[in-house]
Amino acid sequence: MGEFASRADVLAIEAEGSWAERPVARTMYQFISATAARHGARPAISYQLLSDPASKSLTYSWSELQGKVTQAANLFRSLGVAEGDVVAYVLPNCLETAVTLLGGAVAGIVNPINPLLEPEQISAILRETKAKVVVTLRAFPKTDVPQKVAEAVRHAPTVKTVLEVDLVPYLSGAKRLIVPLIRPKNPVHHSANVKSFTAELARQPADRLTFADPAEDRVAAYFHTGGTTGMPKVAQHKVSGMVYNGWLGQRLLFTEQDSIMCPLPLFHVFAAYPILMSVIASGCHVVFPTPAGYRGEGVFDNLWKLIARYKNTYLITVPTALSALMQRPIDADISSLKNAFSGSAPLPIELYNRFKKETGIEIVEGYGLTECTCLVSINPPGGTKKIGSVGLPFPHSHVRILLKTPEGYRECATDEIGEICVASPGVFEGSTYTEADKNRDLFAEGRFLRTGDLGRIDADGYLFITGRAKDLIIRGGHNIDPAIIEEALMGHEAVAFVGAIGQPDLHSGELPCAYVELVKGASVTVEDLMTYATQHIHERAALPKYIEILPELPKTAVGKVFKPDLRRMAIIRIFDAALAKAGLPVTVTSVAEDKKRGLVARLTKTGPASDEQVQEVLGGFTNPWDWAA
């Protein structure tokens, strides 16, 4: 493991040679086979269906995992999946999910799909990727995933085979006997062949591929972006970018002695690349608890005990999960933990401080995005961690802050805010998305991916995110396109304009809310609009938690809704309510744009109140505050 404490260390690693010159695996099969050869008997991946720390757990060694991946790749090829063909999976976490991800990338192109999506969204992704094979669950209590996938496949004519994973083998005792008897029926409404994943896997050789493994770099994964409706954006990932994420983990963070607790889903790039690829590169051990990870029943109540069970050295998390963990006592020996890694959404400073105080463990915050095959930057575990920043760009990841002008792109000065643009081994230059139209104007100077995030770089090279040019609402790490809300509410006959934004929230970072301007002379209640939204917004996470009718929405000179003013209104409303609930004589008098910090709430006292009292109330929000002059 290399040192990574400062910008100088990054430059030193880059000076060892370019990424293209490094002796890393050229194919996914080479990647995992090399690890199996080095660490064959060591544990690779563990999984338990239930959160009880004493419940049944299954583990694959590196040799076993490589054998399963070999069988899966052979199976997919036998079902007609060639290099450019797609294997989709709609699965919660289990051992078969990891096997499908890796085997699909070996045989063709793997396409993970969020099982929480609705059937029409799943179907849209299957059509966009032209998937031939879908791996999903066999009917099982307390899940509707098989039913949703059956409906989705009915509208995806390229899908010829559905492979079903049965979770019953993960059960023990009476539950293993009872579940098959009470298993819900899953009526098949499509024409695809339905087969058992386990049975079909067993028919394939585990010691060799039945086809040639070409050595050239190629697209091996499609990941859809969050908050999709209708026709989604699907990002393309090459083997080189996937391996790059793993190389970073092995070079800078993990050794074969480490054990990682990862209650994040394998349909998300965070778990799939920075974690699973790093596990492969380093030969360490990863644990995935329960199908739903952090959402699983009892996971928060048992997580400290699970960490003690597996003697994990690293915890992978997101701010909403950290907030929930801090509401539980530390009831187990977690002395094995070295660090916790947080991503997917901004980490409130107060939450960082509380977690470190309660556990003694440092949280390392990073930044990545689906379009970059994930990793971009991280607060260096071995160096200065600037809280509020997302750290230093990784070696071979080149980040520039650019502003588009009529003459072209201009690079911003130190601490000047502009758009974060990235070039790295994880960026597929020119063809990030499967649809050509969605790549138009996506790159600055033909090479640097325009992330849509606004930020700045300080004098020490640390990257700070200050806003989002794309106006995405990030609810607990889940990206929600505000257009979903706006288009739905605009369908109401009384609505003239809609502006959807993310309002501050202590638990999720942001929650969707909408401001509405009515058609002149029209009349409708907020309750009516809420009912209408519930009926017309099919993505549950996108349902607005708050709707307000305004006489007129703030607009730009060309008539577009001016969202910064709406965000100011939301910050004032939420902060004032939190301060009033705490009984503090403090109000928000304005929200100002700060060059370095984004939108900052300016507070005024109407009675005695200390900084500490205000920080205790507002410190959990990601939006900063200050006293009015």
String of DSSP letters for 541-564 = GGS-SEEEEESS--B-TTS-B-HH
Cβ-Cβ contacts under 8 Å for 597 (sequence gap 6 or more): 466, 624
Q: What is the mean pLDDT of residues 266-270?
A: 94
Q: Which residue has the tokens 């994973």?
A: 165
Q: What is the mean pLDDT of residues 538-564?
A: 87
| Tally of CA atoms within 13 A in the half-sphere of 525 that contains its CB | 3
3-state helix, strand, coil in the chain (%, to 5): 35, 25, 40
Taken in order 151, 157, 159, 163, is the CA torsion positive or negative?
positive
Q: What is the mean pLDDT of residues 249-258?
A: 95
Beta bridge mates, 70? none
Two structure tokens written together for 629: 């002059």
Helices 95-107 and 62-78: angle between axes, nearest 10 degrees: 50
Beta bridge mates, 133? 87, 161
Q: What is the mean pLDDT of residues 394-412?
A: 93
Three-state secondary structure along 222-234?
EEECCCCCCCCCE
501 near 489, Cβ under 8 Å? no
Q: How far is CA 66 from the centre of its chain?
A: 26
Weakest mean pLDDT among 259-273, 382-396, 444-458, 474-488? 474-488
Q: How far apart are CA 585 and CA 94, in angstroms?
A: 51
Two structure tokens written together for 43: 């544990």
Q: Which residue has the tokens 């899940």?
A: 143
Instruction: Tell me whether residue 600 is exposed, middle or buried, using C-beta atoms within 10 angstroms of its C-beta: 0 to 12, 13 to 18, 19 or more.
Output: middle
Q: How far apart are CA 348 and CA 89, in angstroms?
A: 34
> How distant, in Å, are the alpha carbons of 3, 5, 9, 249, 251 from that of 255?
13, 17, 19, 9, 9
625 near 614, Cβ under 8 Å? yes
76-87, pLDDT tens digit by residue? 999 999 999 999
DSSP string, 136-191: EEPP-TT--HHHHHHHHHHT-TT--EEEEE--GGG--HHHHHHHHHHPPP----SS
What is the predicted pLDDT for the residue at 230?
A: 43
Which amino acid type is present at position 79?
L
195-229, pLDDT tens digit by residue? 999 999 999 999 999 999 988 899 999 999 864 34
Assign 266 to helix, strand or coil: coil
**Chain length of the chain:** 629
What is the predicted pLDDT for the residue at 557?
A: 60
Percent of all residues in the chain with a pLDDT value above 70, rounded to a whole number: 97
Could you count the other beta carbons within 10 Å of the beta carbon of residue 82? 12
CA nearest 334: which of 261, 250, 256?
261
What is the pTM (predicted TM-score) of this model? 0.84
Q: How far apart are CA 177 and CA 168, in angstroms?
A: 9
Mean pLDDT computed over every residue of the chain? 92
What is the predicted pLDDT for the residue at 570?
A: 97
Question: Using alpha carbons only, what angle is made at residue 555 by residues 553 and 560, rounded to the nearest 5 degrees?
Answer: 110
Residue 396 — pLDDT band, cuts 50, 70, 90? very high
CA nearest 508: which of 320, 355, 227, 327?
320
106-122, pLDDT tens digit by residue? 999 999 999 988 899 89
Q: What is the mean pLDDT of residues 274-299?
A: 96
Q: Is the pLDDT of residue 476 over 80?
A: yes
